[in-house]
Structure 1
Amino acid sequence: MQTVVRKRLLLSALMAALAAVLAVIVAPSGPAQAHGNVVSPASRNYGCFQRWGDKFQAPEMATEDPMCYQAWQADPQAMWNWNGLYREGVAGNHQAAIPDGQLCSAGKTQNGRYAAMDTIGDWKATNLANSFTLQLFDGARHGADYIRVYVTKPSYNPITTALKWSDLTLVKEVPNTPAAQWTQQLSNGVQMDIPVSVSGRSGRAMVYTIWQASHLDQSYYFCSDVNFGGATSSPTVSPTSSPTSSPTVSPTTSPTTAPSGACSASVSVASQWSGAYQATVTVTAGSAAVKGWAVTLTYPAAQTVQQSWSATVLTSGNQIQASNATYNGALSAGGSTTFGFIAAGTPSTPTVACSAV
């Protein structure tokens, strides 16, 4: 009898240890500090987080977005820490610190955490006109000693070739700019909107950004895959921090119907973890275009919104009220946009109302 008990205790201990190991492997952790990234045209790691952060275990990623899939498989923490791709102590000698072929991982910084960013292949590309705006998000308000924006030469093919320093042409440099002078002052940081112009470009290319933060000697490096000659992309939202515990995907949807010329909205729970959840709201125009929109979510109990993006979000008791940002209010007939928020507590299904301007 004692032997049986001892075996059961040993088995229980082994199962508990295995569960702890799996939790460490699976559970994403939020960035230790808020740093930043190029959010438009989205860098490789920010784009992967933006598209798959709330469904990072979805099997369709392997076929729909294979380059992001290999990156998530290589190191999920690199995706959750999308704002931490930097090196320290470079002293401005970027080419000496980062070898050819490793520009997208900052020379395999942080023991190779971001090495998958260097993988050659057909990464998702942002369509750009020859004149575009690069948006750099600074979550910690470091400011910049300088920002350098490069575009690859016409002969370079990012689908088949690893990036080298000789492939780059400097097209824009922003001088010393304290955080207080950045273009947009946001609730979760600041954002620099940098106008960039090239001439006569078409097809695939890479935009490479170096941000020398005014914080110790931290240099950030970002690879953004682009396709010149496409329509100018909409601005990317100013990002929020990653959840600090392992999310479980359990979507719920609460749609509204849209009369002609009005709008509808649906809300889904993208992920949830201990004490909080992340929601995504999709706003869709009716049979006529709208110039702006407002959404009201009415819950059974009071709500506390911790973070939001792509909308101005206010809470009032059991209601969450949201209105469009400057760049996503105008929708064509049948067109849609999204905004999101992180709220405290356990998700429930709200009543949804949408009004159009």
Structure 2
Amino acid sequence: MRIKFLISAVVAALAATFALVFVPSGPAAAHGNVVSPASRNYGCFERWGSDFQNPAMATQDPMCWQAWQANPNAMWNWNGLYREGVAGQHETVIPDGQLCSAGHTESGRYNAMDAIGDWKATSIGNSFTVSLFDGARHGADYIRVYVSKAGYNPVTTALKWSDLQLLTTVPNTPAAQWTQQLANGVQQDIPVSTSGRSGRAVVYTIWQASHSDQSYYFCSDVNFGGTTSPSPSTSTSPSSSPSTSPSASASASASPSTSTPPVNGSCAGTHAVTSQWSGGYQGEIKITAGSTAIKSWIVTLTYPGTPSIAQAWNATITTNGNSVQATNVSYNGSVAAGASTSFGFLGSGSPVAPTVACAATT
């Protein structure tokens, strides 16, 4: 489904890019990504997801700027960068120069990930950990972690298979055996090491999910022994993203602090405005389970007038009169007792706080 939303004159320069935004493709794309060192599209979402129309991105984070302009859904759907039917023939199916987009997968949604330039890089040592988040608990037939060879410069050169050297392979590992068992997914922390490295490189991860024949491909820009300048709205885990993880320790800087009310019944919901501009805003609904774990939830938002929601992610929404009903998607319906998940949305006009009601099955 395609959803249109208007952008005011203040951000008119961005209108051509963001005037038409696609709703995330739902359960089929809801899987995972490398969250540390952050992959290109996950890093762009974490830094700018709550402020993606900020023109300062063009100078502060130009590679993310070009990616958001090319296709914002590459970031909203940070957990869907995969191909099907590869049958293990990665080097045959994925051409050189297209490793970071999984060979222009998903009708070219992630093509901007292949762009050559100075992507934000995570500072690491010669021994480091790759953390792969799996929001759908598929587990892995295998995970392979590569690093680009010494002498390769991602700032000036497209990535080829011959540029990579294999660091480690994680064999078949069911989701129940991944390193971290989280309320809304699992995370595999993979220790890897190399020697004598310094300067820029790409860590390349292939995750062969134990679900059909789905192969995931992630480029993470790193700087061996270097420093990384702090970026806006940076979080250390997928806390505000389509596969919400309860391991979050920080929220986007643009988000106001909100207290969670006592949970009376199966669940409670709170509303917050996370970003605002002339003519529109971004909001978030946080769902917190009560004293018993829940299996699914439905949130009803009742507005004083016509609802202004134009697009939502992490939930399926329907509008009836002055109310909006949001239902969990496949990967965020199950919430542990006392834990939380969330969904986000874009609205037109000025923010209006709805009355939030939450119901759940236990």
TM-score, normalised relative to structure 2: 0.64
3-state SS of paired residue (1:67): helix
Match of 1:29 in 2: 23
User: How far did residue 43 of structure 1 move?
Assistant: 0.3
Distance 1:221 1:270, change over 3 A: same
Matched, 1:236 2:240: no
Aligned-partner Cα distance in 2 for 1:97–1:103: 10
3-state SS of paired residue (1:177): coil
**Residue deviations 1:246-293 (CA, integer Å, cap 9, x gap):** xxx9967579xxxxxxxxxxxx842489996269xxxxxxxxxxxxxx
Match of 2:274 in 1: 270
Choose which of 202, 205, 228 in structure 2 pairs with 1:206.
Answer: 202
User: How far did residue 144 of structure 1 move?
Assistant: 0.2
Aligned-partner Cα distance in 2 for 1:23–1:206: 28
The percentage of aligned residue pairs carrying the same residue is 65
Match of 2:193 in 1: 197
Matched, 1:44 2:48: no
Distance 1:230 1:57, change over 3 A: same
User: How far did residue 187 of structure 1 move?
Assistant: 1.1
Does the 8 A contact of 1:202 with 1:227 survive in 2?
yes
Match of 2:68 in 1: 72
Name the amino acid aligned to 2:23: S
Choose which of 155, 165, 170 in structure 1 pairs with 2:166.
Answer: 170
Does the 8 A contact of 1:62 with 1:69 survive in 2?
yes
Choose which of 182, 188, 203 in structure 2 pairs with 1:186.
Answer: 182
**Residue deviations 1:42-66 (CA, integer Å, cap 9, x gap):** 0000000010001110110011000
- How much is the aligned-residue C-alpha RMSD, in angstroms? 4.0
Choose which of 84, 91, 94 in structure 1 pairs with 2:87.
Answer: 91
Does the 8 A contact of 2:209 with 2:216 survive in 1?
yes
Match of 1:108 in 2: 104
Aligned-partner Cα distance in 2 for 1:30–1:220: 17
Aligned-partner Cα distance in 2 for 1:75–1:210: 23
User: How far did residue 88 of structure 1 move?
Assistant: 0.3
Name the amino acid aligned to 1:54: S
Does the 8 A contact of 2:33 with 2:79 survive in 1?
yes
Aligned-partner Cα distance in 1 for 2:18–2:157: 35
User: How far did residue 227 of structure 1 move?
Assistant: 0.2
Structure 1: 5+ residue stretches without partners = 1-16, 244-248, 256-267, 280-305, 321-339, 349-357
Match of 1:130 in 2: 126
Does the 8 A contact of 1:269 with 1:277 survive in 2?
yes
Rg larger in 1 or in 2?
A: 1
Match of 2:269 in 1: none
Distance 1:60 1:145, change over 3 A: same
Match of 1:352 in 2: none
3-state SS of paired residue (1:166): helix
Aligned-partner Cα distance in 2 for 1:189–1:218: 17
Superposition pairs of residues 268-347 of structure 1, within 5 angstroms: 269-271=273-275, 277=284, 314=338, 346=353
Structure 2: 5+ residue stretches without partners = 7-14, 244-251, 259-271, 287-327, 346-351, 356-362
Match of 2:143 in 1: 147
Match of 2:313 in 1: none
Does the 8 A contact of 1:269 with 1:347 survive in 2?
no
Distance 1:195 1:123, change over 3 A: same
User: How far did residue 242 of structure 1 move?
Assistant: 3.7
Aligned-partner Cα distance in 1 for 2:133–2:157: 28
Does the 8 A contact of 1:38 with 1:135 survive in 2?
yes
**Residue deviations 1:131-175 (CA, integer Å, cap 9, x gap):** 111000001001000000000001100000000000000001000
Aligned pair count reads 263
TM-score, normalised relative to structure 1: 0.64
User: How far did residue 188 of structure 1 move?
Assistant: 1.2
Matched, 1:218 2:209: no
